[in-house]
Amino acid sequence: MKIRYHRILLKLSGEALMGSSTYGIDPEMLQVYARQIKELTEMKVEVAVVIGGGNIFRGLQAERSGIERVQGDYMGMLATVINGMALQSAMEANGVFTRLITAIEMKEIAEPYIRRRAIRHLEKGRVVIFSAGTGSPYFTTDSAAALRASEIKADVILKGTRVDGIYDADPLKHPEAVRFEHLTFEKVIRMGLKVMDMTAFTMCQENNIPIVVFDINDPGNLRRIVAGDRVGTLVEG
């Protein structure tokens, strides 16, 4: 099979793990994502994953609880480690070799982030799960995805969402919203479309890393994207 993208970074939101729940981790959704990622490894695609923590704790919401922003951001980073551990267990239960890597050292449960070591894991066919964001407050997991994708020289960032691409308005609120198949970085900025936060988006633009926004809940989409099919919305230079 022809492969378009040989090394990918998959960005999953924490909310993607909730399924139909409003909080926490749905075991069925873990299995859905683990099976999709396994398909990619069987195609000899090198897979890195950055996962959010919004299903457990979101730093930006911490101030409402009287928690300082920086403290809240670190709490959110720890939530991504919990999600990473859960995803790692699900993938290993499906026979996929993984490495959980964290930007905040916690050597009992994960490897510290070392760029060359992470790349070597990918070359050996292991799925690398990047957790704890960038390790610094004030940066989102979108920024972590853009940073890690740049560092490991990923061919593309695949941003899994609950909708099938980028629209000119929220399709969940506006049924008449129009979906784009292809956009340039400049057009996204000009139209003010919400793809990633601006820090992450600018990093992708500067390093010429394309972004595919797609529906992660369609089980065949990941396989189709790496094979070169037009799925979701492609943003590139």
- 89-110 residue pLDDT tens: 999 999 999 999 999 999 999 9
In the numeric block, the tokens 């593309």 are attached to 156
Long-range contacts (CB closer than 8 Å, 24 or more residues apart) made by 17-20:
17/51, 17/55, 17/83, 17/86, 17/87, 18/55
Residues near 21 by beta carbon (within 8 Å), at least 6 away in sequence: none
For the segment 26-45, the average pLDDT, to the nearest whole number, is 95
Please report the beta strands in 57-155, taking only residues with DSSP state E, as ranges in sequence order: 98-102, 111-112, 127-131
Q: Which of 121, 144, 200 lies closest to 14 in space, CA to CA? A: 144
For the segment 155-177, the average pLDDT, to the nearest whole number, is 92
Tell me the pLDDT tens digit for each residue of 65-96: 788 889 999 999 999 999 999 999 999 999 99
Q: How much of the chain exceeds pLDDT 70, in percent?
A: 97
Cβ neighbourhood burial of 115 (10 Å; 0-12, 13-18, 19+)? exposed
153: left (phi over 0), alpha (psi -120 to 50) or beta: left
The rounded distance, in Å, linking the Cα atoms of 223 and 227 is: 6
Walk me through the domains of the chain, giving residue ranges and CATH numbers: 7-236 (3.40.1160.10)
Q: Mean pLDDT check: name the lowest of 22-26, 47-51, 180-184.
A: 22-26
Q: What is the torsional sign of CA 189, 69, 80, 27?
A: negative
